[in-house]
Structure 1
Amino acid sequence: MAAISVAVPRKGRPLEAVLERLAAHTGTPDLADEVISTLRYEKAITKGTQSTDRSVYDRLADYSRGPADYTVLRDSREGFPRRIAFDALTWSLGDYEVRLVGREEPFRALRKHEFALGFDSADLVLEEVVGLAPDPLRDMADVNDRIDPRDTDVRLVSGLGDTVYHTLLATPSVADGDLDRSFVEEYAGPVCISPRYERLVEAVVGTDALDGVEFCYPGDGVEEEAAIANAGLGVYVTVTGSTARDHGLVLGERLFPSETVLLENASESGPADDRLKRVLEPLETELAVR
């Protein structure tokens, strides 16, 4: 049976979105639920919101005696909590086996030609390879146009629809009128963002609109919404916006979707990968490949 190897994150929302999509297609939700619940439980132990008398080695041994379809491992990266994370899972897809392979940075694994297909957050693509321009980047369909072909062979194929948004937030005293990109063009002063999103914000707002803007960042232990309330204006990923409103913030324009995306290194892909892409593409998505 032919096998298709796909790079996926070792934990978090993007991994869960991939598991849920394949489970829906193959009619095997129990397997996806078991992997997701295991990883959420281990995350809670790492964060101290869940406790257990069993050592990490005992838990790993228990997991290894579970279904042979998936495996987990202990994160051994220096400087990181030694959390149990996703290793691999095999799914049957007709005449093919789909093998999901955990990677800390799936996008970078594709850039190094280790895989033809992979899943990662669209944010990482914007942070690493999307070119900056005076005009804003408004949606997923424009991302591939902003990737320099001399930089990477990887392109976005489709989104999985697990969408939250990078959103403009401001205090009522600052948000005078419509809180959108045009407002930012006329604004001068601090804009609070997460440090890792500086390049992303520059891409989705446009470099011209950021003249007169000075980025600032939340301090250690300070919630992003609280830091934005202190600065007056900021950009943050929101789901319902309830926490932002609790801090007295006004929700403005949704600047860009933060979504799990299917990535392809076309120089490595073949007919089997094309079949899997068709399975994974949703009926509707923010991304329309051009």
Structure 2
Amino acid sequence: MTAPVRVAVPRKGRPLEAVLDRFAARADATSVADDVVSTLRYEKAVTKDEQTADRGVYDRLAAYSEPAEPREPDFTLLRDARAGKPRRVVFDSLTLDVEGTPVQLVGREEPFRALRTHEFALGFDSADLVLEEVVQLEPEPLSTIADLNDRIDPHDTDVRVVSGLGDTVYHTLLATPAAMQSVGAEELDRAFLAAYEGDVCISPRYERLVRAVLGTDATEGVEFVYPDAGREEEAAIADVGVGVYLTVTGSTAREHGLEVGERLFPSETVLMENQSEAGGEDVQAVKRALAADADETAIPPQ
């Protein structure tokens, strides 16, 4: 039997759901993908005390992870970071057929780093992690996923982005009307931020990302500040006056009196390859199948 192509994927959350959607379309696996998503959503609700389980976590895990066929998923337990550190059921593995090639999805806490250490040839993770870890900071802003590879130092990593999956939310510029008036800005865009000097409220884990998407020229005269622990980001930005935060509709930001400005960079799940590990024809066949019909976030061939 041909050894499966191993693909690193997130263990839970929106990125894993985006990956499963892509495989459901490429591997005739809609039913099993739906089962994994519904199981993990239920387990998330239990972990957050939004739902009460009728049996213990080990009993649930045993019921989930007794695959009768190769196409059934395995799950595992992970210690959650929430108060009390409960054990949470997360995705572990699943083997599917992608256009004649067996593919094993393997859950990892940090798929991007697993590719960087050459454990996998292919993997999926958030584009945000690529910005946070390997893109070079330059005077000009970075605004599209298609430009990511041009900012990766080839001496730093062999990992490159292949395409985005389209599960897009945006890092968006937010500001109060008073902050806009302070520099005479009519539009809340990059030009406003270039003219603005003062505090900009962001999540601390996104500082390097924000510097990359704004460009080092625009961040001159800007001081990054962070929300207090447990404080809603939009409320903290409203207090500071200017900030960058992930938005879908911007409704929560508007409720706090903020203007919703330019979408600075898409935050979405991306397919990546480690170029030094991806030379096999089976790996390339899987990559082509998963990147087929990709949207505008597809990366030109290297």
Q: TM-score range by the shorter chain?
A: over 0.9
The aligned counterpart of 1:193 is 202
In the TM superposition, what whole-angstrom CA distance separates every residue of 1:128-170 from its partner, at most 9, and x where no partner exists?
0001011111211211111111110000011111111100011
Unaligned runs of 5+ residues in structure 1 are none
**Aligned residue for 1:130?**
135
Name the residue aligned to 1:84.
89
Aligned equivalents of 1:283, 1:53: Cα separation in 2: 42
Stretch moving more, 74-83 or 276-285: 74-83
Q: SS of 2:177's equivalent?
A: coil
1:76/1:225 CA distance change after superposition, 3 Å: closer
Q: CA deviation at 1:173?
A: 1.4
What amino acid is the match of 1:123?
D
Aligned to 1:165: 170
Residue in 1 that maps onto 2:105: 100
Matches within 5 A, 1:273-284: 273-281=283-291, 282-284=293-295
**Cα distance in 1 for residues equivalent to 2:282 and 2:49:** 43
Amino acid across the alignment from 2:55: R
Structure-1-length-normalised TM-score: 0.96
Task: Describe the SS at the equivalent of 1:124.
Answer: helix
Q: 1:245 to 1:152 in 2, by over 3 A?
A: same
Q: Which residue in the other structure is 2:242 paired with?
A: 233
Q: 2:156 aligned to 151, 154, 170, which one?
A: 151
Aligned-pair identity (%): 63
2:262 to 253, 268, 284: 253
Aligned counterpart, 2:5: 4
CA contact (8 A) 1:90 1:98 kept: yes
1:66, distance to aligned residue in structure 2 (A): 5.3
2:106 & 2:172 partners in 1: Cα distance?
32
Tell me: CA distance 1:283–1:9, structure 2 relative to 1, closer, same or farther (3 Å). closer
Letter of the 1:173 counterpart: A
The runs of 5 or more residues in structure 2 that have no matched partner are none
Q: Which amino acid counterpart does residue 42 of structure 2 have in structure 1? A: Y
What is the deviation of 1:27? 2.7
**Offset of residue 200 of structure 1:** 0.1
Q: For 1:153 and 1:263, locate their aligned partners in 2 and report how far apart those are by CA, in whole Å.
A: 10
Deviation at 1:76, TM superposition (A): 4.2
Does residue 289 (structure 1) correspond to residue 264 (structure 2)? The answer is no
SS in 2 for 1:207: coil
- Match in the other structure for 1:52: 53
- Offset at 1:115? 0.4
Deviation at 1:232, TM superposition (A): 0.5
Instruction: Figure out how many residues of one structure are paired with residues of the other and give that number.
Output: 290
User: C-alpha distance in 2, partners of 1:77/1:230?
Assistant: 31
Choose 156-165 or 64-73, whichever is displaced more: 64-73
TM-superposed deviation, 1:38 = 0.4
- Specify the code of the residue in structure 2 equivalent to 1:98: V
Note if 1:42 corresponds to 2:53: no
Q: Which stretch of structure 1 is more off in the superposition, 61-70 or 167-176? A: 61-70
The TM-score with structure 2 as length reference comes to: 0.92
C-alpha deviation, 1:213, in angstroms: 0.7
Contact 2:161 2:299 in 1 (8 A): no
